[in-house]
Amino acid sequence: MVALTGTTERPVIRTRVRGRVRPWLTAYALLLPSALFLFGFTYWPVVQVIRCSLTVRGFRGAAHWGLQNYARLFNDRHFATAVVNNLIYAAGTIIPSLVLALLFAVALKETTRLTSVLRTLVALPMLIPLVAAASLFAFIFLPNAGLLDHYLAKIGIAETNWLGDPSLALGSIIAITVWKNCGYYMLFFLAGLAGIPQDLLDAAKIDGAGPVQRFFRITLPLLGPTLAFVLVIATLNALTQVDHIIVLTQGGPSDATAMILFYIYQQAHQNFDVGMASAATVVSVGFLFALSIVSLRSLERGIHYET
């Protein structure tokens, strides 16, 4: 009886050990390629950028650690101009884009043939690459021969150098961005509106609430999580979209359209100052990360509902 008990217990013990070890080995083996790519293309570049931002090189190539790159960065008037331009650009693109996207989403909420066509027309610019859109608007903004000046001349408005005038260049870039991103944000708001319980809107309508009251008292508060997400996406776009600036203005005229990302590009690829470019990258990414956390926490605080 003892021998039989021993022979029957051994396979059970081996099966348990194998059952505990093999799933972990399989999981690690499956995750290893992704982990290697994540480390090689995400975390390692971040480490290298931070290292370069803290590396100061002398005239003879000697390198030492320090914060001189950050000191030079904050004393550079071109960086200050880029920051101011980026803040104006962010405010000028985020607010109009979100307002228009929300209005389009509310107006085109009901699914009909007409609204389907209008949704397609509004969302169509998001399918156009930013470089192609910039090339298109380069022809539209062309002084005297462009489409915009052609039609403005018919109502008596004189020729305008939209991209060559420092007071108008940034506004022209903002208009392109709003046209490009508005339809993209509208799709998120349409998804958020579809998740709002219709019972709440019907109950408010029965209680005598008008369309404006239902929008501000029910629809807009329940769109808080969607608004928070879209706000973060819009902020990312405001700091990372630089293709149209390179194609249209190259940061000019007189640094009127110079942004932080274009400043980083200039320092790294035109001035070959990797330390300054890395320091500007660390500062911009840190600011963006902090702003994203604050936006998500402030707009999602206390907003929980069930469908």
User: Is 74-300 assigned to CATH 1.10.3720.10?
Assistant: yes
Q: CB of 277 within 8 A of CB of 72?
A: no
pLDDT given for residue 156 in this prediction: 81
Omega of the bond prior to 125 within 30 degrees of 0, cis?
no
The residues of the chain scoring below 70 in pLDDT are 1-21, 58-62, 296, 298-307
Residue 214 CB contacts under 8 Å (≥ 6 apart), including other chains: 201, 204, 205
Distance separating alpha carbons of residues 248 and 147, to the nearest angstrom = 16
Instruction: Specify the pLDDT at position 28.
Output: 86
Q: Which tokens hold the place of 1?
A: 């009886």
Task: Give residue 104's pLDDT.
Answer: 94
The predicted structure's pLDDT at residue 19: 47
For every residue of the chain, which 3-state class applies, written as one string? CHHHHHHHHHHHHHHHHHHHHHHHHHHHHHHHHHHHHHHHHHHHHHHHHHHHHCEEECCCCCEEECCHHHHHHHCCHHHHHHHHHHHHHHHHHHHHHHHHHHHHHHHCCCCCHHHHHHHHHHHHHHHCCHHHHHHHHHHHCCCCCCHHHHHHHCCCCCCCCCCCCHHHHHHHHHHHHHHHHHHHHHHHHHHHHHCCCHHHHHHHHHCCCCHHHHHHHHHHHHCHHHHHHHHHHHHHHHHHCCHHHHHHCCCCCCCCCCCHHHHHHHHHHHCCCHHHHHHHHHHHHHHHHHHHHHHHHHHHCCCCCCC
Identify the pLDDT of residue 307: 45
Distance CA 79, CA 53 (A): 15
Distances (CA, A) of 240 to 276, 301, 307: 18, 27, 35
* pLDDT reported for residue 13: 46
What is residue 190's predicted lDDT score, i.e. its pLDDT?
93
For residues 80 and 118, give the distance between their C-alpha atoms in angstroms, rounded to a whole number.
41
